[in-house]
């Protein structure tokens, strides 16, 4: 190649250097953009899988509750409020003002002459407490988003608390009766057994049953929350029944607690 040809080749190389550089820079930019887009695509796919992963985790936790002795684990976490007689879980407190009275009539002369009647009455504020025993059969199951708790029978904690500072007394005696104070004292001595009987009657038990059911359900919810099993992807409702309820009536009851309550 002579001098003129070398000069021409140099001129061409000098003229093409900027276009070649621009093409190289553009190629690098395209490569960098492709890498960024690929990275974003992988991040998007991972983000799309995140809710499913969380749901799978919640499902694993809920399924874990179904393995092993669920009842034993549930009972192990219940605080024993009273250690007596195997432990009790206090579930309800009810306050009431009870009116107790008695009337004593007497006759003489072969029941021909009335001596009159003595009537005494006591109004007393009472606090009733109710519990379920921990050493009696419990059953806790988790299935299809529902936690079922079958608790022992609801029982009163005896004796009931009598608020003696607020007792009201009333006594009326017949025209030939002078034993009002004696009759009133006898009525006061009978307060504890009579109030204990009232604590067991169906009316008082019915008043305490729903608050007791809710107390057990709230404990069950706290227990489930501690295991990350209470939520849309795990347990969504809790149903509590007691052993002293009729089976048909208990089966017809709605869930005690539902997600969102």
Lowest model confidence (mean pLDDT) among 66-75, 168-177, 178-187:
66-75
Q: What percent of the chain has pLDDT over 90?
A: 39
Q: Evaluate if residue 125 carries a pLDDT over 80.
A: yes
Say which residue, 17 or 95, is predicted with more confidence: 95
Say which residue, 117 or 208, is predicted with more confidence: 208
CB neighbour list of residue 187: distance below 8 Å, 6 or more residues apart: 100, 101, 102, 120, 121, 122
C-alpha span between 193 and 6 (Å, rounded): 127
pTM, two decimals, is 0.68
CB neighbour list of residue 136: distance below 8 Å, 6 or more residues apart: 86, 152, 153, 243
Q: What is the mean pLDDT of residues 77-84?
A: 63
Q: Please report the beta strands in 74-112, taking only residues with DSSP state E, as ranges in sequence order.
A: 88-108
C-alpha span between 173 and 86 (Å, rounded): 49
Secondary structure of residue 80 in the 3-state scheme = coil
C-alpha span between 2 and 236 (Å, rounded): 92
CB neighbour list of residue 160: distance below 8 Å, 6 or more residues apart: 126, 127, 128, 129, 192, 195, 196, 198, 199
Q: What is the mean pLDDT of residues 233-252?
A: 89
Say which residue, 223 or 69, is predicted with more confidence: 223
Q: What percent of the chain has pLDDT over 70?
A: 65
């Amino acid at each position: 190649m002579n001098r003129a040809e070398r000069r021409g080749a140099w001129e061409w190389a000098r003229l093409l250097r900027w276009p070649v550089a621009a093409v190289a820079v553009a190629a690098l930019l395209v490569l960098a953009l492709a890498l960024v887009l690929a990275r974003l695509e992988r991040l998007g796919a991972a983000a799309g899988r995140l809710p499913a992963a969380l749901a799978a985790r919640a499902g694993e936790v809920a399924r874990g509750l179904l393995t092993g002795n669920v009842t034993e684990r549930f009972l192990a976490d219940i605080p024993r409020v009273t250690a007596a007689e195997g432990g009790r879980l206090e579930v309800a407190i009810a306050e009431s003002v009870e009116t107790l009275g008695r009337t004593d009539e007497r006759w003489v002369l072969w029941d021909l002459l009335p001596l009159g009647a003595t009537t005494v009455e006591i109004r007393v504020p009472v606090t009733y407490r109710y519990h379920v025993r921990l050493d009696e059969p419990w059953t806790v199951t988790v299935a299809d988003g529902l936690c079922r708790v079958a608790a022992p029978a609801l029982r009163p904690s005896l004796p009931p608390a009598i608020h003696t500072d607020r007792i009201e007394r009333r006594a009326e005696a017949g025209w030939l009766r002078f034993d009002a104070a004696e009759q009133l004292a006898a009525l006061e001595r009978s307060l504890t057994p009579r109030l204990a009987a009232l604590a067991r009657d169906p009316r008082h038990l019915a008043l305490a049953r729903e608050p007791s059911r809710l107390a057990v359900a709230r404990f069950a919810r706290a227990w489930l929350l501690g295991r990350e099993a209470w939520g849309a992807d795990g347990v969504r409702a809790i149903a509590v029944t007691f052993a002293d309820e009729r089976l048909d009536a208990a089966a017809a009851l709605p869930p005690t607690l539902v997600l969102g309550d």
